[in-house]
Amino acid sequence: MAGFADLNVPQGADRKAVQSLLETAAHLGYSAVALNHIVDFKEKKQEIAKPVSPSELFPSLPIVQGTSKRLKVLTRLTLVVSDPSHCNLLRSTSTNIRLYDIIAVFPKTEKLFHAIDRGIYFELLYTPAIKDSTMRRYTISNAISLMQICKGKNIVISSAAERPLELRGPYDVANLGLLFGLSEGEAKAAVSTNCRATILHGETRKSACGVVYTVKKLHKIEEEETVPACKKAKTQA
C-alpha cells in the first residue's frame, strides 16, 4: 500500500451507502480504506464474527483518482472494552479476531491507557471537528492535550465518516492536523506513512500473531511490540 489511507470508515448495514463512501474516498485520492466493525465487549465468552471479505461486498472497487489502481479495502475490528483482561482473553481465545486486517480497542477506563514507548498508534477522528463549532473546540483541545503526551509521533487521522459529504481529501485532513498541534510533516504522516505502518503491523499480526492495536477515547490505535513467532512460542511453552 502506498499513498494516503483512511483507516476508519463505518461498515454500515446499507451497502449502497458504504459503496458511495468508497467511491468518494477513491475520488479524493485515498489508496486504502478500512471498513470498521464495532463490537461492545461485555461478556467474557462473547464471540467475534468473521469479517466479510470486501471483494464479496463490492465486486468492483473504484479506481483511485490519478492512478490506474483500484482502492484497497481492509477489514477493521474495534472492540469497546472496560477491563484490561478483556484484551488478553480475546487474544488467547478468539480465532476470528486474527482474520481482521486491523484490530482496535476503544478503552472506557484510564487504566487501559499505555505509554507511547510501547509502539502505540493514536487515532484522531476529524469528523467531529467539521460538524459543529462546539465539537470542534473539544476535538482541538483534546488533540492538543494528546500531542503533549506523544509529542506528535505515532498519530493516525481518520474520518469515521458516515456520509460522503463528511469525507475530506488527504491534504485537507493534513491541514486539520495543523490545528491539532501537529507539524506539517507529522500531519502528512498521519494520513500516509503512519497508516502504512499500521497496516504492515496488521499483516505481521495475521502471519505471526505479533501485533495488537488499541484505540483509546479520542480514539487511539495502539499496538504491542512485535514479537517473533519463535520467541512467543518459547514464552508460552
DSSP 119: T
Question: Does the residue 225 lie in any domain?
Answer: no
Q: Which amino acid is residue 220, in one-letter code?
A: K
CATH of the domain at 124: 3.20.20.140
pLDDT at 62 over 80: yes
Question: Does the residue 121 lie in any domain?
Answer: yes
Half-sphere exposure of 71 (CA within 13 A, CB side): 31
pLDDT at 26 over 80: yes
Distance of CA 35 to the CA centre of its chain: 9
Radius of gyration of the chain (CA): 17
Question: Does the residue 179 lie in any domain?
Answer: yes
**138 confidence band (pLDDT: 50, 70, 90):** confident
Question: Does the residue 228 lie in any domain?
Answer: no
Question: Does the residue 219 lie in any domain?
Answer: no
> How many Cβ atoms from other residues are within 10 Å of residue 136's Cβ?
16
Domain that holds residue 157: 5-206
Domain count, the chain: 1
Question: Does the residue 212 lie in any domain?
Answer: no
Mean pLDDT, the chain, rounded, equals 80
Residue 48 grid coordinates: 467475534
pLDDT at 1 over 60: no
Residues 6+ apart with CB under 8 A from 228: 208, 210
DSSP 126: -
Question: Does the residue 213 lie in any domain?
Answer: no
Question: Does the residue 217 lie in any domain?
Answer: no
Grid cell 502505540 — which residue? 120
Residue 30 grid coordinates: 485515498
